[in-house]
Amino acid sequence: MFSARRLFGTNGIRGVVNKELTPELAVKIGCATGTFFQCGELIVGHDARTSSPMLARAVVAGLNATGCNVLFAGMTPTPALQYAVKNRKVDGAVIITASHNPPEYNGIKVVWSDGIEISRDQEIEIENIFFGNAIRYVEWNKIGEVQTLTGGIDEYIEAIKEHVDVAKIAKKHYHVVVDAANSVAALAVPKLLRNLGCKVSTINANVDGTFPSRPPEPRPENLTELARTVRAVNADVGVAFDGDADRAIFVDETGEIHWGDKTFALVEKYFLIKNPGERIVSPISSSTLVKDVADAYGGEIVWTKVGSVTVSHTMKKLNVKLGGEENGGIFYGPHQAVRDGGMATALILDIMADTNKSLSSLLGELPSYFIEKGKVECPNELKEKVLEKIIEQTRGLNTSTVDGVKIWFDDKSSILVRPSGTEPLYRLYAEAKTKEKAEALIQEFSLKLKRIIDSVKG
């Protein structure tokens, strides 16, 4: 890890604290980042992990040593920090978070002045400074200062409220159960919901960086307590967050947990009804549902590689207002082109209030698909060759090769075959109108893939 002149992965710099990600490394990353920003003004904030204050202080020391002034926001949800960058008109931010990773991990994200994480080219600049010993320390009398940023979460809440019909939502007196994952979500979301006139019940809302209640990834298997609570208190909706509150997964009033592309498709539908003809950005791993909705309501999908930063950058480049991922990331451009769990929650309530429908009936109106997943082992060094072969063998079919190969069939089924970015394997995601068909696709393509891997080996 952190070798071969590479620090940044798909979501910033990540590692196990005090093994891969030490305070010493964090100081140097702070110095490299400060050199990159050339004595600018940066916001620094962090999630609720036990290691976050330590790593944040280390990064701040590096930024100050290279002449950057720091507005220190302390423990804050990631989307609130990203919003603060734009709102306070600073040069960027450094966010200490490992999002949904287990508690022993932490990470460092670098954000540009538009609130979006820096581009790969900018990451390379920081890596070149880091590995090329090109850090520029400033003279003793140019060392940066630290000021405290206060009010950031309240400004973030007010900004979200500007994009929904607060009075209409408030009239409904929705009862919402929030599963805050013991994370920074607890600092913003319950207050946002009370501001929207909701009755709020919380679970796992004591901020605790050991994540004692459930893993910080809001996967359905981690949300049974939320589903049970929604039913037990007769709530209208439940919402669960990840460790830095940029992703939100919803539970309807019957206690059913819905995966992210379903709720995204709902947001997409009502966005397109109000904004016909708009384009929507979504990673190729999303459900065909997202395309069905675009087709039905006059939108157009721009498929991207998997990864939230790619979605943000594509939205910005093409001036697209809405993006979404299957994992519960919703990017609402009029607010900010980054995923934002609080904004997603407000948008869902806005749709419920506007249509006067329950979440289960709104989601029930969308087409439904069965999803099956699979994996096939493949040595990292063969991945590229294997991918070329798959592309060759699927030529003539309705495919996208934006990330791996996705094939759409005439019966609305599809399969995505994609090399894992982190493990020596290929992942397969099949989707179909019946469970049997989805399973059959996984079987068929696992076999095909194994044959190709064997032939490439041979």
CA distances from 140 to 62, 63, 244, 377, 397 (A): 14, 14, 36, 54, 64
The one catalytic residue among 51, 52, 99, 308: 99
Give the strand pairing for 92-96 and 41-46. parallel
Q: Looking at beta carbons only, is 244 or 326 nearer to Mg ion?
A: 244
Q: Which residues pair with 427 in a beta bridge?
A: 375, 418
Separation of CA 396 from chain center: 33
Q: Looking at beta carbons only, is 221 or 381 nearer to Mg ion?
A: 221
Among 51, 64, 87, 99, binds Mg ion (CB under 5 A): 99
Among 242, 326, 372, 403, binds Mg ion (CB under 5 A): 242
Query: Distance between CA 312 and CA 177 in Å, rounded?
Result: 29
- The footprint of Mg ion on residues 399-438 (CB under 5 A) is none
Q: How far is the CB of 163 from Mg ion (least distance, A)?
A: 20
Instruction: Spell out a b/e string for 67-84, using b for 16 or more CB atoms within 10 Å of the CB, else e.
Output: bbbbbbbebbbbbbbbbb
How many C-beta neighbours within 10 Å does residue 167 have?
A: 10
The residue number with the shortest CB distance to Mg ion is 99
Q: Looking at beta carbons only, is 220 or 367 nearer to Mg ion?
A: 220
Q: How far is the CB of 321 from Mg ion (least distance, A)?
A: 21
Q: Is residue 312 flagged as an active site residue?
A: no
Stretch that binds Mg ion, among 166-174, 227-235, 239-247, 260-268 (CB under 5 A): 239-247
Stretch that binds Mg ion, among 9-17, 112-120, 211-219, 240-248 (CB under 5 A): 240-248
Query: By CB under 5 A, how many residues form the interface with Mg ion?
Result: 4
Stretch that binds Mg ion, among 60-68, 212-220, 246-254, 394-402 (CB under 5 A): 246-254
Instruction: Spell out a b/e string for 200-223, using b for 16 or more CB atoms within 10 Å of the CB, else e.
Output: bbbbbbebbbebebbbbbbbeebb
CA distances from 371 to 46, 91, 261, 272 (A): 35, 42, 12, 25
Q: How far is the CB of 243 from Mg ion (least distance, A)?
A: 6
Q: How far is the CB of 370 from Mg ion (least distance, A)?
A: 27
What percent of the residues of the chain are helix, what percent strand, and what percent coil, each to the nearest 5? Answer: 40, 25, 35
Q: Which residues pair with 258 in a beta bridge?
A: 250
- The footprint of Mg ion on residues 68-97 (CB under 5 A) is none
Q: How far is the CB of 246 from Mg ion (least distance, A)?
A: 4
How many C-beta neighbours within 10 Å does residue 394 have?
A: 18
Q: Looking at beta carbons only, is 184 or 353 nearer to Mg ion?
A: 184
Q: Looking at beta carbons only, is 40 or 218 nearer to Mg ion?
A: 218
Stretch that binds Mg ion, among 143-151, 159-167, 205-213, 242-250 (CB under 5 A): 242-250
Query: Distance between CA 451 and CA 458 in Å, rounded?
Result: 10
Q: Is residue 244 involved in binding Mg ion (CB under 5 A)?
A: yes
Stretch that binds Mg ion, among 238-246, 290-298, 316-324, 342-350 (CB under 5 A): 238-246
CA distances from 40 to 48, 70, 423 (A): 26, 9, 38
- 263: its two tokens: 């709720």
The CA-based angle 64-85-169, given to 5 degrees, is: 145
Q: Is residue 217 involved in binding Mg ion (CB under 5 A)?
A: no
Q: How far is the CB of 96 from Mg ion (least distance, A)?
A: 13
Q: Looking at beta carbons only, is 242 or 372 nearer to Mg ion?
A: 242
Residues classed as catalytic: 99
Contact set with Mg ion (CB under 5 A): 99, 242, 244, 246
